[in-house]
Amino acid sequence: MATTSDVPRGQMERRVGDVALPSFGGMSSRPKFDISRFRAEQIAPLAQFRPYIMGANALAVMVVVWSTLTSVGGPWLYLWAMCQAGLTATVLYSWFHNRNFAGANRRTVTAIEAGSLAFALLWAFPTLELMPAIPVEAQHVVLGVCFITAVTGAFALTRLPLASITFAAVVSGALFVSQIRRGEDVDLLLGFIAVAVAFLMSLMSVALNRTLMRRAADNYHMNRQSEFLALLLKDFEVCSSDLLWETDDEGKLIYFSDRLPSLLGTSKLLLGRTLQEAAGASPTDQGWSDFTLLCGNRQTIDGLCLEVRRTTRTDWWMLTAQPLWGHAQEFLGYRGVIRDISLERRAQLDLITAKEAAERASTAKSQFLAVTSHELKTPLNAIVGFSEMLIAQREGPLGSPVYAEYAATILQSSTHLRNIIADILDVTRIERGTLHLVEQEMDAAEILEVAYKMCREQAKAADIPLSADLENTAEIEGDITRIRQVLINLVTNAIKFSRPGNAIALWIEHQPDGGLAFVIEDNGIGIAPDDLERVFEPFEQGDASSSRRHGGIGLGLAIARKIARMHDGDVVLDSVLDDGTTARFILPPVRVKWPQPVVTDEAAPEESSGAR
């Protein structure tokens, strides 16, 4: 067996709680047997039967005194009896104060061995000193009492071999010596019998002690291994992310790891509940219907993913379990492992979300390239074509009215191209966070009127009536250029998707929370309910067909909403397909100052009169 010095430091043991566990490297050698604990267990029966043994000893002393009192003179008999009484009282006093010998040590064992030697010497006295002076009949009584005492004492001290052998040897030796002194054959035979009995009792004591020692050592090692396995399992439960659980034949929990309540976020009593009840799961949650089906069929559960809903989040468990069967093949329940895979599941969902976002970004990029190339190609064709015609001078000399039309077309196409590039740059600056607001106060009606006038010619060219109600107004705070850009984008978008003759109305609306909304209402083609949020994505349009009957690259609404949200507001759409759309550019109350109501002259005298 390896000692402490044989094992390198740090590999001898590790501590779990208050119990030291041997390392895996030391498991090949059996742990050292605690001899002091074994001695305490050996001495405990002595303490239990000590009053009876001392009672029997006192009775034997009285028999000897009664048998020899009339024939033995002098103080030796009384002195012997007093020594027996004193030693018996000492032993009983020690027993009363330390009955179980729970803290038995070498000192306790030595005290018992010394006591047994003292009793042995006292019982050797009658056979050696009193026998010659007493009658033959009394001698037989004394010999019988001493022989019985030798056997009884040796048997009582069997668990302590040294004490047992010493007691039997001293008392039996005294009997043997006394019988030799008498010199008769029968006496010699009795002496040899006494010695043989003492020798057999000694052998029995040694053999019994070895058997008890081996049995105690085996029990100690078995308990040690059981303790180690139990603590190792506990250590595994503490350090591992897996949780152990076990149910009875009705599916109710009879055991679970200590971390299960904290994992569930509850302090309720979980014993006696089913796993589904403990988790607070609904049968409709993912995996629980399969769990119920497998348990009902007494089948193995292997890597079943369960959804566990919480108040603020959703957790995921990976469940593995085996059915338990008794000796008669009766079903006892399930025992298994729960692994919390919430982090892995969320990471998986995040990867899926990121993949979908990447796919959408790739689609948006492809759509951006397709749309932008188409939109850029159209004005560039006009610019290049009419520029070539100007260079070729095919329609007469320069200064001819037809060249003015060419120049106007080139200017219009160049402006359109510049606006497309400006929208792309705005989106890029907003996404990068480099677009900053230059805030100032302005009149809402004035900025709406500016947007109306800038879009009036475009509406007139499209044969769309455009009107603006500027009576309701308020002071607003924000970036004038960007707010005007939002309004122009919304009005332009309404004109683009309206049919000739369909009117467009502009007005200012007082919101219930004190905010302000610029309202642009058209009677155009409308937007399908499923597309109301999609149209705010970059490069998306309400009409996404391949024919692309309406121009633009789909950045107007995206830019409008982003600028509105930079002002802590929003752009929202209410639309009915084929019946028109209402767009609202909403500013929060903190950016709006509504005018105070004016008190008329007619109401003033009445108020004054009432005050008086």
What is the predicted pLDDT for the residue at 213? 73
What is the predicted pLDDT for the residue at 544? 47
Q: Note whether residue 608 is domain-resident.
A: no
Beta bridge mates, 576: 580
Same-domain check for residues 64 and 210: yes
Beta bridge mates, 516: 510, 587
Asked if 33 contacts 220 with a C-beta cutoff of 8 angstroms, the reply is yes
Query: Pick from 314, 340, 366: which residue ends a domain?
Result: 340
Same-domain check for residues 446 and 387: no
Give CA separation, 388 vs 359, 391, 393, 408, 410, in Å: 42, 5, 9, 15, 11
Cα separation, 162 vs 268, in Å, equals 59
Asked if 375 contacts 419 with a C-beta cutoff of 8 angstroms, the reply is no
What is the predicted pLDDT for the residue at 586? 93
Same-domain check for residues 68 and 146: yes
What is the predicted pLDDT for the residue at 329? 87
What is the predicted pLDDT for the residue at 582? 92
Shortest CA distance to 302 belongs to which of 287, 313, 312? 287
Q: Note whether residue 598 is domain-resident.
A: no
What is the predicted pLDDT for the residue at 604? 46
Shortest CA distance to 511 belongs to which of 598, 597, 595, 592? 592
Give CA separation, 82 vs 62, 88, 122, 129, in Å: 11, 10, 11, 16
Same-domain check for residues 455 and 501: yes
Q: Note whether residue 537 is domain-resident.
A: yes
Q: How many domains does the chain have?
A: 5
What is the predicted pLDDT for the residue at 522? 92
Q: Note whether residue 259 is domain-resident.
A: yes
What is the predicted pLDDT for the residue at 143? 78
Q: Could you tell me the CATH number of the domain that includes residue 326?
A: 3.30.450.20
Same-domain check for residues 455 and 530: yes
Same-domain check for residues 18 and 88: no
Asked if 176 contacts 169 with a C-beta cutoff of 8 angstroms, the reply is no
Q: Over the stretch 499-556, which tens digit does the pLDDT of each residue have?
A: 898 899 999 999 999 999 999 999 888 888 888 888 877 666 555 443 344 555 567 7
Report the SS3 class of residue 316. strand
Same-domain check for residues 546 and 512: yes
Which residue's structure tokens are 């002194």?
Answer: 181
Cα separation, 477 vs 484, in Å, equals 13
Length of the chain: 612
Q: Over the stretch 132-166, which tens digit does the pLDDT of each residue have?
A: 667 777 777 877 788 788 777 777 777 777 777 88
Q: Could you tell me the CATH number of the domain that includes residue 398?
A: 1.10.287.130
Query: Pick from 227, 258, 281: which residue ends a domain?
Result: 227
Q: Note whether residue 420 is domain-resident.
A: yes
Q: Note whether residue 604 is domain-resident.
A: no
Q: Which residue ranges of the chain lie beneath pLDDT 70? A: 1-48, 72-74, 98-106, 132-133, 182-188, 191, 230, 232-241, 267-268, 362, 364-406, 408-413, 415-420, 423, 426-427, 430-432, 538-554, 598-612
Same-domain check for residues 208 and 286: no
Q: Note whether residue 166 is domain-resident.
A: yes
Same-domain check for residues 12 and 25: yes
| Domain of residue 100, residue span | 35-227
Query: Pick from 402, 430, 458: which residue ends a domain?
Result: 430
Asked if 586 contacts 571 with a C-beta cutoff of 8 angstroms, the reply is yes
Residues 6+ apart with CB under 8 A from 293: none
Same-domain check for residues 134 and 192: yes
What is the predicted pLDDT for the residue at 505? 94
Q: What is the pTM of this model?
A: 0.42
Same-domain check for residues 28 and 39: no
Residues 6+ apart with CB under 8 A from 286: 305, 306, 307
Q: Note whether residue 521 is domain-resident.
A: yes
Same-domain check for residues 171 and 158: yes
What is the predicted pLDDT for the residue at 610? 37
